Amino acid sequence: MKLRKVSAWFSALVLLALGANIWLIVQIRQAHLDMLASQGYRQKAMAITSELHQETEQLARLVQAYTITGESRYLLYYYDIIAIRKGDKPFPEQFDPVTYWDDAIAERIVHRLPANGKRQSLQERMKAQGFSKAEFAALQEVLAANDSMTAIETIAFAAMQGLYDPVNADFVSDGKTHRDFASAKVHSKEYNLLKSNLSHAVQKLTKATDQRTQEETAKAQKTLGILEQPAADLDAQHGGRCAASVAIDTRQSIAAVAALKPSGKTGCQRGLFDPRQPRTKRGQASGSG
């Protein structure tokens, strides 16, 4: 009767330990998924800031190319980049922000926008990736610096089309083309300083995003490490065996305890049953004693 009670308690403890082990495995798996998710969010967030920096470079390049060559396609690319950023126009099909505009400028591809493609503004993309208030504040600095450059670019564009009079510094409805004036405007020290301000604003946003995503990833990694430590300790206690092996040994232990018969020795004197060792026959055990 006493042995049956001990067996019941032992079985309960083993099942409790097994349940705790399973719970720990589930928590570790979830923590691992959270860490992978945080790394994915970091990669996407940093890609957005990198794309924004590349866009600023492309826009300045397109402005200068247009004032030098007069090719209207550069003006088309310029306005399409801005419209896509605002969410007013869809992304090109199979759009790769790293190579698309370079390929379009080099005429390796024909630039066209689909009639019913995906539209998503920069702000909407940032919200989807969980950008913070500090990052949106940094974005406002980027947009303000961009607006300062746009004011000069608008004058240059108008001068290229005979819609700006440099002498009177005013927009006109019908005038002469002033290509030299337009080119000088977007190559001036004032324009370059504004471009530098824009680059610093984009860099500020990039650093804020980098810091936030690094902290989120580090937090996820720390949580995973905290959960993995007791699992490693448990694994070491069981001779480096995985949870499945522990579960198998647990079932064997329960069966072994139930099969024990009362004897003159106490449980401590008999020694603990090791399910990993082959069971000896009763006659051999008594003979060796």
Query: Which of the two residues, 31 and 111, has the higher pLDDT score?
Result: 111
Confidence band, pLDDT 50/70/90 cuts, at residue 231: low
Confidence band, pLDDT 50/70/90 cuts, at residue 26: confident
41 has pLDDT over 80? no
Confidence band, pLDDT 50/70/90 cuts, at residue 155: very high
**pTM above threshold 0.75:** no
Query: Which of the two residues, 248 and 186, has the higher pLDDT score?
Result: 186
Confidence at residue 8, expressed as pLDDT on a 0 to 100 scale = 75
Confidence at residue 110, expressed as pLDDT on a 0 to 100 scale = 95
What is the average per-residue pLDDT within 15-25? 74
Confidence band, pLDDT 50/70/90 cuts, at residue 4: confident
Query: Which of the two residues, 241 and 198, has the higher pLDDT score?
Result: 198
What is the average per-residue pLDDT within 160-176? 94
The sign of the dihedral angle between the CA atoms of 237, 242, 244, 248 is negative
5 has pLDDT over 80? no
Confidence at residue 261, expressed as pLDDT on a 0 to 100 scale = 41
In the numeric block, which tokens belong to residue 151?
A: 């004011």
Percent of the chain whose predicted confidence (pLDDT) is above 90: 53
| Average pLDDT score, the chain | 80
Confidence at residue 258, expressed as pLDDT on a 0 to 100 scale = 43
Query: Which of the two residues, 3 and 249, has the higher pLDDT score?
Result: 3
28 has pLDDT over 50? yes
35 has pLDDT over 60? yes
235 has pLDDT over 70? no
Q: Which residue has the tokens 């970091």?
A: 42
Query: Which of the two residues, 219 and 108, has the higher pLDDT score?
Result: 108
The sign of the dihedral angle between the CA atoms of 233, 238, 239, 244 is negative
What is the average per-residue pLDDT within 148-159? 96
Confidence at residue 10, expressed as pLDDT on a 0 to 100 scale = 73
On whether the CB atoms of residues 91 and 112 are closer than 8 A, the answer is no
